[in-house]
Amino acid sequence: MATIDLSKPILDRNEKLAAENRARFDSAGVFVLDLMASPGAGKTSTILATIAALRDRYGIAVIEGDIASKVDAEKVKAHGIPAVQINTGGACHLESDMIQRAVDTLDLDALDLIIVENVGNLVCPTEFFLGEHAKVMILSVPEGHDKPYKYPGIFQISEAVILNKVDTLPVFDFDEDEFTSVVRSLNPTAPIFRIAATKGQGVDEWAGWLARRIEAVRTAAGKPPVGDAGAATGEEGPA
């Protein structure tokens, strides 16, 4: 019996458009971050904390992906940052064509960083590249330390991992040593940033890591450096 893989044409088309997006971002010297997490992990609060840490040095825009509503985009716009809302109408992830259309509404010449807040999901976004320079995932302490066992793929493809809501560690049964060990076994090179986004705790270290990557993309595009990319922190992340 013949089997027809209907996902291959979809993924092939997505990869083609992702490559077009990436070429466009590289040419403009704009770093694009695909931020992934479960619902409630603190994606929007992490984005707002990142904006607060970097907005004085870089032009920033946000692309918000949700199944419905524009609540998160409105929160970002309230801070004076351009934001584009994508409602997927039920799809559990963003795709390259959605990003392409969203970017068409932005002034790339005025930007250094685009943060894409993907749809809250730990599975689907791992399969779809958008043209981004890095995928980073957020896990919050209340979700439990066992998530790397259950969703290894998202930890394997992430260039960095953010452990959010670390201020709640005393009230949750979260084994941080085990979490770190399993993440390291899945992805030995990804730094783990411990933050409490709503309180600003640990954000400078994360922002410093991100700034260095923004500067690398700017340099490759022939743009001059902006300030001191390592000013926020002298460390790459926990060993």
**Mean local confidence (pLDDT), 213-239:** 73
The model's pTM is 0.89
Mean pLDDT value across the chain: 89
| pLDDT at 135 exceeding the cut of 50 | yes
| pLDDT at 44 exceeding the cut of 70 | yes
Report the percentage of the chain scoring pLDDT > 90.
73
Structure tokens at 111: 């930007």
Catalogue all structural domains in the chain, each as residue range(s) with its CATH number. 21-220 (3.40.50.300)
pLDDT at position 46 is: 97
Task: List % helix, strand, coil for the chain (3-state, nearest 5).
Answer: 45, 15, 40
Dihedral sign of CA atoms 66, 127, 121, 42 in order: negative
**How many CA atoms lie within 13 Å of 54's alpha carbon, on the beta-carbon side?**
33
| pLDDT at 38 exceeding the cut of 50 | yes
- Identify which of 71-75, 139-143, 232-236 has the greatest average pLDDT: 139-143
pLDDT at position 87 is: 80
Taking Cα atoms as reference points, which of 82, 175, 186 lies closest to residue 126? Answer: 186
Strands 31-37 and 113-117: parallel
| pLDDT at 239 exceeding the cut of 80 | no
**Mean local confidence (pLDDT), 166-187:** 98
Whole-angstrom distance, CA of residue 210 vs CA of residue 212: 5
Lowest mean per-residue pLDDT among 2-16, 60-74, 164-178: 2-16
